[in-house]
Structure 1
Amino acid sequence: MPLTLTSPVFAEGETIPTKYARDGENLMPPLKWTGIPGGTQSFVLIVEDPDAPKGIFRHCAVYNIPADREGLPESIDTSRDNALSYAINDFGNAHYDGPEPPIGDDPHHYHFRLAALDVPRLAIPAKAGAQQIWHEARKHVIEEAELVGIYQR
């Protein structure tokens, strides 16, 4: 069974609820995955908007997710129990920042990309950017899954 990424709050190609956008509550949506490939030692998750006016805009990167996880609960990035690592997103924050496309733009597509890695941890310097995390993760990918949601203001 292939690695699959889903959310209970939006399906592939559907609208991301406002609650998970920057002009809503700015909560990270809950995510679940199945079909974890053999040899997985950790995961990395990145959220990107390729429709941004200046090119790909990265809203979040979570790395060193333990291999025994099968998802992330809503707003995991603000949880007091959170021991996960976050890269600096393109807003300059080390947490999830939801959709915030320019008002009047066509709908933007938000790609939630999960990668199963063959290493237990990425050796990344503190304050690394989301793009740097994804670049390093690509060297260790066993399998990837993607969930795309849309948002428009």
Structure 2
Amino acid sequence: MANASGEFRLVLPHMDREGRLPRQYMGEGQGAKRNISPPLEWYNLPEGTKSLALTVQDIDAPDPSGPIVPFTIWVVVNIPPTVKGLPEGFSLKEEEFGGEYAGIKEGFNDLKKHGWQAPKLPSHGHRIEFKLYALDEELKFGNKVTREKVLEAIEGHVLGEAVLIAKF
């Protein structure tokens, strides 16, 4: 299903026509499953990609003191370029999937928890940004991977970015 322009892109297969994140990946509400990460697919990696990194954030999260501060939901690094996506429920189960998924590492979200943290939002209308970075090398991380550390480490190594915005 590669598109004709051959652009690097990220797809959430179960997103509806309005671009909403399916409810089963939310933290609450009718049909919500408990912290099940959504399936993702990507196409047309830039030439020379050695690894991929993914960050997911609520870009409309209000800080209790006022301003909008993006809230990190999920961080995934060291995704090999041979992997064409992440299956539903991948978060915290990379060992179970094994094979080419085995070296993938998940980081900490803004709740200081490891893995996908399904959004529990005070109101609808929030945008969830999925950003996939194609990198020219595999990055080395210590135990505590955060979005900030990923952004620091990838500086100068980004071959391309694919962004997908889903509404809540």
Could you state the TM-score of these two structures normalised by the residue count of structure 1? 0.89
Higher relative contact order (CA 8 A, sep 6+): 1
Q: 1:134 aligns with which of 142, 151, 154?
A: 151
- What is the DSSP-based 3-state SS (H/G/I as helix, E as strand, rest coil) of the residue aligned with 2:97? coil
CA deviations 1:31-50 (Å, max 9, x no partner) are 11111111000000110111
Write the distance in 1 (CA, Å) between the matches of 2:14 and 2:135: 26
How many residues were matched structurally? Answer: 148
Q: 1:59 aligns with which of 64, 73, 88?
A: 73
Q: 2:125 aligns with which of 67, 84, 107?
A: 107
1:36 matches 2:34: no
- Work out whether residues 92 and 106 of structure 2, in 8 Å CA contact, stay in contact via their aligned partners in 1: no
Structure ranking higher in strand proportion: 1
The structure 1 segments of at least 4 consecutive aligned residues displaced by more than 2 Å after TM superposition are none
**Residue 8 (structure 1) aligns with:** 13
1:93 matches 2:113: yes
Unaligned runs of 5+ in 2: 1-5, 64-68
Of all paired residues, the percent bearing the same amino acid is 31
**Residue 50 (structure 1) aligns with:** 59
- Could you tell me how far 1:122 is from its partner in structure 2? 1.2
CA deviations 1:57-80 (Å, max 9, x no partner) are 000000000011111110111322
